[in-house]
Amino acid sequence: MSVEVDEVSDATHYVIIGNGAAGNEAAWHLRHRDPDSRITLITAGRLLFLNRYEFPRVLDGIDDWREFLVYPPAYYDEQRIIVRRLSWVERVDPRHRVIELRHKEQVSYDKLLVASGGGGYLPEYLREYRHLLHDFNTIKNAKQIREALPTSGGKVVMLGGDVKGLDLARTLVKAGHEVIVAASEHLFWPHEISAEEAPRYVEALEYMGMQVMHDRKVARIEAGSKGLHARRLVFDDDGGELHADVVMAFYGLMPALKFILGSGVDIARGLLVNPQLRTVDERIWAAGDVCQIWSPEENHYRFYYGWKNVKMMGRIAAINMTGGDEAVSTFKEDKLLINDQGEIDSTLWEYH
Ligand SMILES: Cc1cc2nc3c(=O)[nH]c(=O)nc-3n(C[C@H](O)[C@H](O)[C@H](O)COP(=O)(O)OP(=O)(O)OC[C@H]3O[C@@H](n4cnc5c(N)ncnc54)[C@H](O)[C@@H]3O)c2cc1C
């Protein structure tokens, strides 16, 4: 096992796990608050930080990853931020202050920020059909969707119906495809919509051109036969069947934190932090989709999704890692709205 040997220096080494919105925002603030420090961003991914909000453009044929770069490569040199790509974190060892990478390298830290985000949650009964589902998390995934659909008039089934999925559904409908949302209890997630309010929002989806199916659980998904649609979905309890070019699942997020299990920090669904984004380990902070923040107003831990919240967390984590004491404002009303055009909008999803 190779061990990274630190240069002898007094400079604090900040290590950030995650090269997304939270990690990058934190890195920028760390650099400005502690100019002499060492900053290392670690990511399992192959590419630099990309603007995923723009991925729907891939459906219009734009698929060069450079088009989606948030910062040019020179930015990281200028800011003296080391980006370690293709580096999968396997374990955190707080006692020795090292993280272990899958390729058996260890990286030591003085202060650690966990900003590892999350991946789409897939209910147990759908896992055996994973290979028949399309994802939308990378440019490659988005390209695969484009290739699976005709230029227009394609058919897409969206299982679950969380806000990320509905946002993509809107783009697909505008491109002339048919979108059927097989709604689950995750419809509109992470917004919690009461049974009384739901019909109004479902009507808005239909007005936007989507078809919404309720109370139907998938019994199985099959590859379609030659000359027919590529996928066949069969529903439980005589719920019938559907044929589609693309089937996608949008059941909310599952935080990516396997590597920190057993390290002594508290975890519920996400990594638990106080409003200052500290974990129970005084050298470990967390920010972004991976963490659940204590909300004194609501008396429970909660997630804060979306670009603006995630960036704000990155900034606050950096302030507190460098001796500050700022708290995330945990009282926020996240709203699902129907805008003047009669379309659904989420205050979580604003990113400009
Ligand atoms: C396709 C898509 C579209 C979206 N569109 C919008 C939108 O329009 N508006 C909006 O507000 N929000 C949108 N969101 C949600 C928003 O992007 C997230 O809330 C935000 O990106 C979360 O940022 P993050 O930094 O917490 O995590 P992420 O951006 O998910 O970054 C996580 C990072 O951690 C790394 N990582 C994870 N595990 C490991 C490991 N074990 N080892 C090493 N590295 C690891 C990953 O490689 C990645 O670099 C979208 C999300 C997706 C996926």
Q: Does 208 share its domain with 290?
A: no
Ligand 1 touching residue 142 (CB < 6 A)? no
Q: What is the length of the chain?
A: 352
Ligand 1 touching residue 120 (CB < 6 A)? no
39 CA to centre of own chain: 23
Q: Does 178 share its domain with 198?
A: yes
**pLDDT value of position 346:** 86
The type of residue at 27 is A
Ligand 1 touching residue 16 (CB < 6 A)? no
**pLDDT value of position 301:** 92
Q: Does 126 share its domain with 247?
A: yes
Q: Does 58 share its domain with 106?
A: yes
Which atom, in ligand 1's list, is nearest to the CA of 136?
1
**pLDDT value of position 90:** 98
Q: Which tokens in the block code for residue 23? A: 């990690």
Range(s) of the domain holding residue 212: 122-251
Ligand 1 touching residue 314 (CB < 6 A)? no
Which atom, in ligand 1's list, is nearest to the CA of 348?
11
Q: Does 295 share its domain with 215?
A: no
pLDDT per residue of the chain (352 residues) written in tens, 0 to 9? 555 545 557 899 999 999 999 999 999 999 999 999 999 999 999 999 999 889 989 998 998 999 999 999 999 999 999 999 999 999 999 999 999 999 999 999 999 999 999 999 999 999 999 999 999 999 999 999 999 999 999 999 999 999 999 999 999 999 999 999 999 999 999 998 999 999 999 999 999 999 999 988 999 999 987 778 899 999 998 879 999 999 999 999 999 999 999 999 999 999 999 999 999 999 999 999 999 999 988 899 989 888 889 999 999 999 999 999 999 987 667 789 899 999 998 887 765 4
Ligand 1 touching residue 22 (CB < 6 A)? yes
**pLDDT value of position 227:** 76
**pLDDT value of position 32:** 98
**What CATH number is attached to the domain comprising 146?**
3.50.50.60
The Cα-based distances of 55 to 99, 126, 180, 193 in angstroms read 31, 25, 21, 27
Is the CB of residue 246 less than 8 Å from the CB of residue 154?
yes
**pLDDT value of position 345:** 87
Which atom, in ligand 1's list, is nearest to the CA of 289?
26
Report the number of distinct structural domains present in the chain: 2
**pLDDT value of position 224:** 82
Q: Does 130 share its domain with 238?
A: yes
Considering the entire predicted model, what is its pTM? 0.93
Q: Does 221 share its domain with 260?
A: no
> Of 277, 263, 287, 271, whose CA–CA distance to 94 is shortest?
263
For residue 335, being part of any structural domain is answered with no
Q: Please say which residue of 251, 283, 300 terminates a domain.
A: 251
Sheet holding 241-244, edge to edge: 218-223, 231-235, 241-244
Ligand 1 touching residue 89 (CB < 6 A)? yes
Q: Please name the residue whose Cα sits nearest to atom 18 of ligand 1.
A: 306
